[in-house]
Amino acid sequence: MSEIQTVGIVGAGTMGHGIAQVCALNGVSVVLVDISEAAVQKGLAAVTGSLERLLKKDKISAADKDAALARIQVGTDTAALQGAQLVIEAATENLELKIKILRQLDALLAPEAVVATNTSSISITQLAALSGRPERFIGMHFFNPVPMMALVELIRGLQTSDATHAAVQALALKLGKTPITVKNAPGFVVNRVLIPMINEAFFVLAEGLASAEDIDAGMKLGCNHPIGPLALADLIGLDVCLAVMNVFVSEFNDSKYRPCPLLKELVAAGRLGRKSGRGVYSY
């Protein structure tokens, strides 16, 4: 499989425009599409603003910024993706929507093109089976904010070919990322370890073993985490943490993944963290 030089991205939201920025800064041409002109322009404005901040901090030159923006083409018509060697689906975490997009892409793209999904929770094997090109389908899970976070999880479905994995791994390295290779399983690696840890922090809080502040201080100072698990839950969204735990319970059928009742209670109260102004902490 030849080196990937043109990447299509479906979805210009937080993840999509972040991936577009990283590609464009590293010499990869990008076609960024979304359902409305307003959405793509908002995504492009976010990339422009981010590049301007990097320029002010002397992380890039004015020429780098201009070259990166020149490599990004935006639009609302998926037909613009036709020439892409790789298309990354970065739409909302909704199975029906993803299936619809994957079917559109399969009809549009060259037979040798690769399709990747940035999903954080949906089975890669399942999506590959529905993609029309199972051997040329892979999970490419970036972390937020994409320009800052070094990690990319490359998730192989049961059907993903070695050539597909190698081509996408080479692209991740070209983008300055550190890829890790993961088999398909709920939560992949990072969320599989992280979200149960957050859930356990809620059990510790619910049992009154320590205050929220002390639990977070313990994990920051004792484990060198940059942010405590309860503050991180507020940042991620308590509803998101609960949803992931529910996926683990249903997929693994193992009681060790049961969500903490306090987490469920806070979500039921609408205390979802930073986005609602209150979670474990008030904002």
Residue 275 annotated as binding site: yes
Of these residues, 89, 118, 153, 165, which one is catalytic? 153
Name, in order, each residue with C-beta under 8 angstroms of 99's C-beta and a sequence gap of 6 or more. 127, 130
Residue 276 annotated as binding site: no
Clarify whether 153 is annotated catalytic.
Answer: yes
Residue 50 annotated as binding site: yes
Q: Is 231 exposed, middle or buried (0-12, 13-18, 19+ CB in 10 A)?
A: buried
Of these residues, 118, 131, 184, 191, which one is catalytic? 191
Of these residues, 118, 120, 123, 184, which one is catalytic? 120
Residue 42 annotated as binding site: no
Residue 282 annotated as binding site: no
In 37-84, alpha helices (H)? 37-56, 62-70
DSSP secondary structure letters along 251-280: HH--GGGPPPHHHHHHHHTT--BGGGTBSS
Residue 210 annotated as binding site: no
Terminal-to-terminal C-alpha distance of the chain:
49
Residue 37 annotated as binding site: no
Clarify whether 120 is annotated catalytic.
Answer: yes
Residue 34 annotated as binding site: yes
d(CA 38, CA 147): 22
| Beta bridge partner(s), residue 282 | 278
Of these residues, 141, 165, 184, 199, which one is catalytic? 141
Asked if residues 78 and 105 have their Cβ atoms less than 8 Å apart, the reply is yes
Give the SS3 label for residue 111: coil
Residue 123 annotated as binding site: no
Residue 264 annotated as binding site: no
Residue 11 annotated as binding site: yes
Quote the DSSP letter at residue 4.
Answer: P
Task: Please report, in range form, the residues annotated as the binding site for NAD(+).
Answer: 11-16, 34, 93, 98, 120, 144, 275
Catalytic positions, please?
120, 141, 153, 191
Task: Please report, in range form, the residues annotated as the binding site for CoA.
Answer: 50, 57, 120
Task: Please report, in range form, the residues annotated as the binding site.
Answer: 11-16, 34, 50, 57, 93, 98, 120, 144, 275
